[in-house]
Amino acid sequence: MRIVYPLVLILLIISCKEKTKTSITAQEIVDRSILASGGELYRTSDITYKFRDFQYASEWNGGSRILKRIKLTDSIKVLDVKSTHGLKRFINDSLVPLKDSIANVYANSVNSVHYFAYLPFGLNDPAVNKELLGEVAINGKEYYKLKVTFDQKGGGDDYDDVYLYWFNKETFKPDYLAYEFHVDGGGIRFRAAYNERYIRGIRFVDYENFEASPEDATIYEVDSLYGRGQLKLLSKIELKDISVVASD
């Protein structure tokens, strides 16, 4: 019996450590991440910024979110407005009729840019499903690795895409993300956040955008490839001239 009791004690200690390690849920991680990145300010702020050749704006109107994309030239202003009623295009303030298929393409494009700009805010949308895959290390830091999928209803045209997020275990900020898409032949992208800044309490980052071939690895292995320097840098995702003001 003198031998049994120490063994039981050791097993209990190990069991308690394992429970402590895995006691946090995917939902709790996302909630803490949103709180650390801006919290309720996401719902009470209008935001504008420039990305490449476009100006983008996110505005709140009566509790509904309106997303905009503006392209300006010397004589033409093209404004795309996405709301709960779909997308409308205006050229020099005149409404332009669009086929549903074209309007849908524009809506997806506008939504995609805004989605990445405000992460992790959108990860609590009703159509989002979250799963904690485990804990991993990237470049000497510890992360919670989460998988995100979408319901077909409310998940958009690309609802079957798979996303992964790596949340820093100390700060709960999403330092990395990856996604697997199926349009245009499909592929895998891995993004590493940099240039973090807070503007009126909301966190913004830029990204290094890497490519991984599905033939070389699955999306679940891209963090290991990144750590070994085996991903190809495609571009940089940079937000400029960011402005945040309180919604009316």
Q: Which residues have CB under 8 Å from 86's CB, separation 6+?
A: 103, 107
pLDDT reported for residue 156 = 53
Among residues 201, 207, 203, 194, the alpha carbon closest in space to that of 245 is found at 201
The total number of residues shown for the chain amounts to: 248
pLDDT reported for residue 2 = 46
Task: Assess if residue 136 is contained within a domain.
Answer: yes
CA distances (Å), origin 104, targets 53, 61, 72, 82, 157 = 21, 22, 22, 10, 9
Task: Assess if residue 23 is contained within a domain.
Answer: no
Number of domains in the chain: 1
Task: Assess if residue 1 is contained within a domain.
Answer: no
pLDDT reported for residue 21 = 52
Per-residue b/e over 76-98, b at no fewer than 16 CB within 10 Å? Answer: eeebbbbeeeebbbeeeeeeeeb
Task: Assess if residue 60 is contained within a domain.
Answer: yes
pLDDT reported for residue 8 = 47
pLDDT (tens digit, 9 = 90+) per residue, 90-108? 999 999 999 999 999 999 9
> DSSP string spanning 98-120?
--HHHHHHHHHHHHHHHHHHTTT
Q: Extract the residue ranges of the chain whose pLDDT is less than 70.
A: 1-22, 152-160
Range of the domain at 234: 30-246
pTM of this structure:
0.86
pLDDT (tens digit, 9 = 90+) per residue, 198-215? 999 999 999 999 998 877
pLDDT reported for residue 17 = 43
Task: Assess if residue 236 is contained within a domain.
Answer: yes
pLDDT reported for residue 16 = 46
| CATH code where residue 142 lies | 2.50.20
Task: Assess if residue 3 is contained within a domain.
Answer: no
Task: Assess if residue 172 is contained within a domain.
Answer: yes
Task: Assess if residue 5 is contained within a domain.
Answer: no
